[in-house]
Amino acid sequence: MTAVGPRPPSIEDILSLSDEFGLNLGEDEVPAYQAVMAGAFRAYQALDSLTEPRPAVAWPRTPGRRPAPDENPYNAWYWRTDIKGNPDGPLAGEQVGIKDSIAVAGVPMANGSRTLDGFVPDIDATVVARLLDAGATIAGKTTASDLCGVAGGHDHPFGTVSNPHDPLRSPGGSSCGSGAAIAAGDIRMALGGDQGGSIRIPAAWCGTVGMKATFGLVPYTGCMGMETSLDHVGPMSDTVVNCARLLSAIAGPDPLDPRAAGLPPNCVGDYMAAVDQDLKGLTIGVLKEGFGHSEWPTLGFGASERVVDDRVRETVAALGSAGATVVDVSVPEHIDAAHVLVALLEEGVCANMLRGNAGGHGWQGFYDTRLMDTFARGWRQQAADLPPPIKTILLVGEYMHRHYHGHYYAKAQNLRPAMRAAYDAALSRCDALVMPTLPFRAPLMPAPDAPIPERMIIALNMIGNVCQANVTGQPAISVPCAMADGLPIGVQFMGRHFEEVTLLRLAAAVERAGDWRAR
């Protein structure tokens, strides 16, 4: 390979940087700095001549195709494929959808955005490689919200994603395509991503199962990052047993992901066995702050619907009748944790995904330089086409960076241990906390020409119960428990770190309590 390297800075470049940072370099000083800097750029040139190691791709595949409108009525699919894995694996023949923020080698990846137009990964994300090794067939890439910045089904450059229960209503997001594809019966399993509830939101509104596992339990390698301390990827499915099957295939350490490299011994549980266990000996804590939400003016979160609270409480009563002990629990920090999440997202996504070009910074793991190069050009050239939530993140995050120099992001990070401790204290009295996944049912989607405030309200106004587990890193699962006027209602269980087994036991018990569609 011919050594190229970055272009060394000109005298004009150095003077411009000097002015920006107030270095007050005189024109007569600049040549000296330019000469000293030349050594660094010779190192960069040498670096450019070295071969970059990349994860190997094991299973053969063809690139697939864009689905025709008549075979994609809910716009749940961005791309369709038929990539077959190990014929002898535990998921042999099982069709699995992959959220389009997750790399599948040789298959286009857009992350719901035109800023990645034409990008085709040359690696499989670790979770994709594990699914293929387990025998799964990759059925395609499910539609993601534009750069995963919207928790509804609107503001998609490739078309609105609809809720199969009512196409006029939101499917939830940002893993909207995964939720809709499962609800429509296209597949039984899919992967989603979750930085503030983006697995559990579409699970609740589409009537599917969705789990955000303990931070780091499921490797994020090969997934497009938003904020490295919040990023999760995980299973979505039609049933709890299929959630357990997916989690069994993808969980465990990954040396390429520092979040998953140093997991504690025995952190991976026997998830399949959990589904068949009864509730004897389990105590469920009914989280006071998870019910009866009024509107949260500071964050624009929506108020609770009475029917949602009532159906979840009925589900909890059924679990009590099935053998669990039910107690009331309070975590006053529930609202403060949401404020922490907002600061982490606004400044972290701006720094890591936008200014950092989806690569993150300062951690030892795999960086997808091809993705970073493509996205760095794409979003800057098409910034005007970014959806309003991403534009807002850029504006807020950059403003806070320039005027407050990371102070509030750092404070939010410093507050996370106290938030974890608050939930840990509650979980010392019980095995899991229970609450509605979302405080209200799927709303009608805004019209394409609706004012920006109206489009923004539905972008994040439902996350009042789901964002806390992203802050604390604790596992949480959403499982459908009832229907009201044809729309699903989800119940969420939040547990101790690496105790996904307990959450699966509880979710399976909800399924056994009867047909949620009839309740």
Among this protein's residues, is 99 annotated catalytic? yes
CA distance 241 to 451: 42
Q: How many CB atoms lie within 10 A of CB 466?
A: 31
Distances in whole angstroms, Cα of residue 248 to Cα of each of 267, 391, 493: 12, 37, 19
Options 145, 178, 198, 237, the catalytic residue:
198
Six token digits for residue 462: 């439902």
Q: Which of 158, 146, 209 is nearest to 179 (CA)?
A: 209
SS3 state of residue 461: coil
DSSP string computed for 313-380: HHHHHHHHHTT-EEEEE--THHHHHHHHHHHHHHHHHIIIIIITTTS-SS--S---HHHHHHHHHHHH
Distances in whole angstroms, Cα of residue 309 to Cα of each of 254, 286, 293, 491, 510: 39, 11, 10, 9, 16
Tell me which residue has tokens 């964050």: 299
* Contact present, 273 and 247 (Cβ < 8 Å): no
* Contact present, 501 and 217 (Cβ < 8 Å): no
* Contact present, 145 and 194 (Cβ < 8 Å): no
SS percent in the chain: helix, strand, coil, step 5? 40, 15, 45
Among this protein's residues, is 174 annotated catalytic? yes
List all residues 6 or more positions away from 377 whose beta carbon is below 8 Å from its beta carbon. none
CA distance 331 to 280: 25
Tell me which residue has tokens 């979770």: 127
Options 170, 174, 175, 178, the catalytic residue:
174
* Contact present, 282 and 431 (Cβ < 8 Å): yes
Q: How many CB atoms lie within 10 A of CB 376?
A: 17
* Contact present, 480 and 489 (Cβ < 8 Å): yes
Cite the active site residues.
Answer: 99, 174, 198
